[in-house]
A and B are shown apart, each in its own frame.
Chain A
């Protein structure tokens, strides 16, 4: 639950409330991806993310 409050505070500070629906959608979509695959390892050439 703390994470939701922290994200909300973050959006307030950054004044980026338009991110809210996108965050929600992405978290849902991301959640689906997590559920449908096993490991969460980023095989990036450069660890930008």
Chain B
């Protein structure tokens, strides 16, 4: 047996992944254990968990692979400061102490921390470092179902690279092209996230969700002034509009002047049509760049398969367009496309590149990520003990009764907390730690946004649909198990809007029923589809099938089991706390069913203000 521990840490979304004999056994993000969103600390809890899943200690691990190269990053930092000096001194003054005190000594730091987790760790010689974008590329290619593929990675920035193209063949993976900092599509998107008043590194989803409310009237301004895009999708950013390279903000005054308004102050300035138009414009510009890239890559490499990773690969609207564009026949995206997935990639890179192991493609399964259900699971007896300890009142049902009772509650229009099996790895809840609802309900979106999730009312919800029924309800007939593709609701399921309704602007449009499944139909008739498969999540598949039997509708609303700003729940206790602090009406944990009205109301805490807003 040979085991590799992959780690990502110290920037955002720390995580650990365990590979045993080339198979991914477990992976988890540190935030789920520490309950601190995007936790960037050393992932001690995640490491302990993945090792326990593999029933081993650090002494049994052949190598520990870290997901980026600190010295290369330091080189970029120094060269950037030199190129811009004396501008950037304040940023330098703040960055250098962090490096001198800590980040330059990352190898020692990692060795020390690993020793603290387990004394048996053999020391510095067991540490390997993969380049950031190579980790992303490895996380996209090695677990994919393809023997050969073009691999595109796009994110904010790693060491130098911001965009890379690699080609994977068997166990071989080589980066063949790179674009370098400060030219970054991820940072362009983050600049607009900042400009529209959302938090960089987590608010990008909101910009994407806001885009359909607006008109892309600034798309040409972005493509003409901010970007220089070539036909093959390669690009440069005009740095005179940005401040991230050496400053402490993403954009500068010239950027604000270009669009005509200052940066929106969150919680002070309201979201206006202007911000929606800006969001629509950056989304359209991003899609334009990505599509030019994928079309050129398909032509250049003449391969039918494309793999993607990096934060920009979480832009499921753009992903849906890549798929529909058809330049590549097949598309596979790493479900943990952000930095957490770097832990998986670093481990794979060590296994295939450093240790030279052959890649054995298992064609009997969809991919090697096991539906992304790679996190902790809890035995029924453990669930009961934990819930009892937390003061919960519950009924324990048979497997069949759990499905029937939950399906009844869903059909009754109740909001359900659904805690089932191993926790997901990556940012999406996929039916293991999810809040579920009836997609046919006109009030469900508002209820879930305002009373359950405590988040902005404009944000859409996603459907989990039985794979076999997806083509009847959406304009897609592909697997989308990781909720990374957006597709339109089928024309026959849509409801045409009247001229009066069409004349409504922005968020007012949201209240108009647009299809048979209004709770998951975004303003532009699109939906972020998750296909549910009996082989990867049989229990979830059964539940949706039971709901379909009652209602004729083979899909449910699926949103992550958390409130705004909170990491997705990990343990039964987390689930119970969230259930008690919100308007979730029924909680299902394993075979335990909890009803809100039966609980001791004194256990409810003020959940709304518990987590810092994201």
Contacts and interface: CB of A to CB of B under 8 A. Distances in A.
A47 B244 CA distance: 10
Given A2-B107, A34-B97, A42-B98, 17 more contacts: A2-B108, A22-B82, A23-B78, A30-B99, A30-B100, A33-B93, A34-B96, A34-B100, A34-B101, A43-B94, A44-B91, A44-B94, A45-B244, A46-B244, A47-B11, A47-B201, A48-B244
Nearest to A27: B100
B281 to A, nearest CB: 20
Interface in B64-116: 71-73, 75, 77-78, 82, 91, 93-102, 104-105, 107-108
Size category, B interface: 35 or more
A45 to B, nearest CB: 5
Given A7-B71, A30-B96, A31-B100, A46 B200 contact: yes
Contact of B75 (A19, A31, A33): A19
B157 interface: yes
Nearest to A39: B97
15 contacts: A3-B104, A26-B78, A27-B100, A30-B99, A30-B100, A34-B96, A34-B97, A37-B97, A40-B98, A41-B98, A44-B94, A46-B244, A48-B156, A48-B187, A49-B73
A46 B96 contact: no
Contacts of B100: 27, 30-31, 33-34, 40
A33 B97 contact: yes
Contact of B249 (A6, A14, A45, A49): A45
Contacts of A41: 98
A16 B75 contact: yes
Contacts, number: 80
B141 interface: no
A17 interface: no
A46 B250 contact: yes
Contacts of B108: 2-3
A34 B11 CA distance: 21
A19 to B, nearest CB: 7
B450 interface: no
B78 A22 contact: yes
Contacts of B71: 6-7, 10
B94 A47 contact: no
Interface extent on A, as a size class?
20 to 34
Q: Which of A2, A27, A30, A48 has the most CB of B within 10 A?
A: A48
A42 B491 CA distance: 50
Contacts of B245: 48
Contacts of B94: 42-44
A25 to B, nearest CB: 10
Nearest to B190: A46
Interface of A: 2-3, 6-7, 10, 14, 16, 19, 22-23, 26-27, 29-31, 33-34, 37, 40-49
Q: Is the interface of A mostly helix, strand, loop or mixed?
A: helix
4 shortest A-B CB distances, which residue pairs?
A30-B96, A40-B97, A30-B100, A49-B95
A20 to B, nearest CB: 11
Nearest to B103: A49
B153 to A, nearest CB: 17
A49 to B, nearest CB: 5
Contacts of B98: 40-42, 49
Contacts of B244: 45-46, 48
B157 to A, nearest CB: 6
A12 B436 CA distance: 56
Given A6-B71, A33-B96, A45 B248 contact: yes
Nearest to A22: B78
Contacts of B91: 44
A19 B250 CA distance: 28
B426 to A, nearest CB: 20
A39 to B, nearest CB: 8
Contacts of A10: 71, 75
B49 interface: no
A6 B129 CA distance: 13
A14 B160 CA distance: 13
A16 B75 CA distance: 9
Contact of A19 (B12, B40, B78): B78
A29 B89 CA distance: 12
Contacts of A48: 156-157, 181, 187, 244-245
